[in-house]
A and B are shown apart, each in its own frame.
Chain A
Amino acid sequence: MTVEKLRRIVEELPPELYSKVRAAKVRGNDLRLLTGIDDLASLAKHIHGAHQASLVTMHATDDRAAEDCFKLYVVLSPRGIDAYVTIIAPLEPRSQRFVSLTPQINEADWYEREVQDMFGLEAVGHPDPRPLVLYDDWPQGEHPLRKDFPLDRRPPRVRSAYHFTKVEGEGVYEIPVGPVHAGVIEPGHFRFSVAGEPIINLEVRLGYVHKGIEKISESTPYWRGTHLAERISGDNSVAHSTAYCQTVEALASAEVPERAEYIRTVMLELERIYNLIGDISGIALDTAFSVGAANGYLLREKALNLNECLTGSRLLRSVNVIGGVRKDLSANDREKTLSALVRLKLEFEDLVDLMITSTSLLDRVETTGRLSMEMAVRLNVVGPVARASGVDRDVRRDHPYAAYDRLNFLVPRGTAGDVNARTRLKMDEVRESFSLIDQALDGMPAGPIRTVVDNIPAGEIAMSLVESPRGELVHWILAGKEKPYRHKIRDASFCNWLAMEEAVLGNIVPDFPLINKSFNLSYSGNDL
């Protein structure tokens, strides 16, 4: 069925594009189209438009050793089918330029800037070609993801400056905030331009916690990669490690035991619960509603305690392993989880009641930080932020993995797209997660929890999408010998940061922390 639909995508291409496709093949639910670099933009634009596809990831590989060229990969997810279209475009031999997709596909913006930084390939015609990942004191001509850049290389620091967008006019002031913030949070720089109190422009500058994870992964054997994936973004360790393990399992065409899929589902939802309760409590905290915040954080602590009780790790580390999960859930664990959840559910409803009946809180969150649905679609915003603006997309339903296709759940949606809508949406998602855990524990079949995964063929490509508490994240691997040749990671935050620049416009500066909290993006996951 899926294969049929994918084949139709190729057949329905307009003749002038059809002739540009050099090769097409379907592998699993992935349609791979090979085309020339000059036709990449028009082909991608057609599929993006004609099939209302969203851009899943766009990245490059350095194939100079084998084929004397770089390659670009554009992965699109057409609406309504559980399948992907990957467009592969090799650059001309020794060429380091390609035509930018951004003028046609807006969401390609940061991906192309990342490719420019990490591979030194110029996106010709990109509206904003400033560096994104590489920092100001990084010398020109050093591109970390090229294969001739050794892992231990430390380039000298040079002096240069980054030019922020200037807003000028009478009474317009700039407020630089960060990268060091008051509080134990991650580093990021926010450059506000304000006219009086309202924000008229915000520019986010990130990259301060770039750790070179993709580069490190290229020299990390698969069995150790799970530990690395768990540490990409500390509070999304199950989501990232599940995506990594699923990708490697797909490379080896391995079947994970059903019980392991159910356990992964339980862990993914436990992670969602503690993250989202933390987000909701943060909203209470940032509106100076201390009683709500204290009760919320107490709940979050109980969720973390449950995590520790089940897995030995509050942040659910060491849960996943390639081929399944590490530790089984005993009958005793099941009882403990169910009784803890009964209490959590009751106390969570009390917290919701307390928050949504507090007029001082509602006054701060209603109409604050609006993100329209049009903008959410245009920027390809993902996760709860997108759904609060009315976008109907959830990887768990649209591209089911683990045991999600055997469980019943709703994908809540909001309409207003403000802080209030995002908070309420997260409340609904927590309720769905409670129900998902109950169902998964009930439906969990007996059996093994782990299978042996070996013989990962070099040169294969696989990809996995997982709905993390912040939205969909992607792991994409081109296999090498015993380890990835190229490992592309895209965290949900990478899609959502630009949306925040839009959502704050017209709001007053004191509401920025609140809007920021309602997005709750990861710096580490974005920077990699």
Chain B
Amino acid sequence: MFKFLKLGVLKRGVQTKPYPQEPVVPYDAFMGLPEVDGAACDRCSHCVSVCPVQAISLTEEGVEISTARCIFCGDCAEACPKAIKMSREFELAATSKEDLRVVYRHG
């Protein structure tokens, strides 16, 4: 019993979070879904060429990112700081592969 008290088990209290009833906000540095600012994008396709896993494509609508391929490395955000940043969005599960496409429209 002494050991348990020494560990501060009573002081420590609840260590888990009531997710998903309450949202969890990751740290600022977190590298989640790449977010493209459609207005800042000038369609130079630099992000497409630096992506190591071909997750980004330019379509007529805008910039499309496949979260099925993305490895969240941050190469695109580093290559294009004015239009792309790594967001803190991590809830990316979907029930079909089609839904794993995220399209950022132009303008």
Contact = CB atoms under 8 A, between A and B. Distances in A.
Contact of A313 (B4, B31, B53, B78): B31
B3 A318 contact: no
Given A227-B73, A318-B74, A326-B74, A312 B7 contact: no
A312 B88 CA distance: 9
28 contacts: A224-B52, A227-B53, A227-B71, A227-B73, A291-B4, A291-B7, A308-B26, A308-B30, A309-B27, A309-B29, A310-B29, A311-B29, A312-B29, A312-B30, A317-B71, A317-B72, A317-B73, A318-B31, A318-B72, A318-B74, A326-B74, A326-B78, A327-B29, A350-B7, A351-B7, A353-B3, A354-B3, A354-B7
B21 to A, nearest CB: 20
A411 B7 CA distance: 28
A227 B26 CA distance: 23
A357 interface: yes
A221 to B, nearest CB: 9
Interface in B1-21: 3-4, 6-8, 15
Nearest to A292: B7
B33 interface: no
A363 to B, nearest CB: 17
Nearest to B88: A312
Given A312-B27, A317-B73, 15 more contacts: A227-B52, A227-B53, A227-B73, A308-B29, A308-B30, A309-B27, A313-B72, A317-B71, A318-B73, A327-B29, A350-B7, A350-B8, A353-B3, A353-B6, A354-B7
Contacts of A310: 29
Interface residues on A, range: 20 to 34
B84 interface: no
- Secondary structure of the A side of the interface? helix
B11 to A, nearest CB: 11
For A224, A310, A351, the residue with the greatest tally of chain B CB atoms inside 10 Å of its CB is A224
Contacts of A351: 7
Contacts of B78: 326
Contacts of A291: 4, 7
Given A227-B52, A227-B73, A312-B86, A357 B3 contact: yes
A326 B78 CA distance: 9
Contacts of A354: 3, 6-7
For A305, A318, A353, A354, the residue with the greatest tally of chain B CB atoms inside 10 Å of its CB is A318
Nearest to B7: A350
Interface of B: 3-4, 6-8, 15, 26-27, 29-31, 52-53, 71-74, 78, 86
Interface in A296-317: 298, 305, 308-313, 317
A140 to B, nearest CB: 34
B62 to A, nearest CB: 25
Contacts of A308: 26-27, 29-30
Interface of A: 224, 227, 291, 295, 298, 305, 308-313, 317-318, 326-327, 350-351, 353-354, 357
Contacts of A317: 71-73
Nearest to B73: A318
B67 to A, nearest CB: 16
Contacts of B7: 291, 295, 350-351, 354
Contacts of A295: 7
Contacts of A227: 52-53, 71, 73
B31 A312 contact: yes
A351 B31 CA distance: 31
A18 B53 CA distance: 50
Nearest to A225: B52
A200 to B, nearest CB: 39
A452 B52 CA distance: 19
Contacts of B73: 227, 317-318
A313 B86 CA distance: 12
* Closest 6 pairs (CB-CB, A-B): A312-B29, A312-B31, A224-B52, A309-B27, A318-B73, A227-B52
Contacts of B52: 224, 227
Contacts of B29: 308-312, 327
A57 B31 CA distance: 36
Contacts of A311: 29
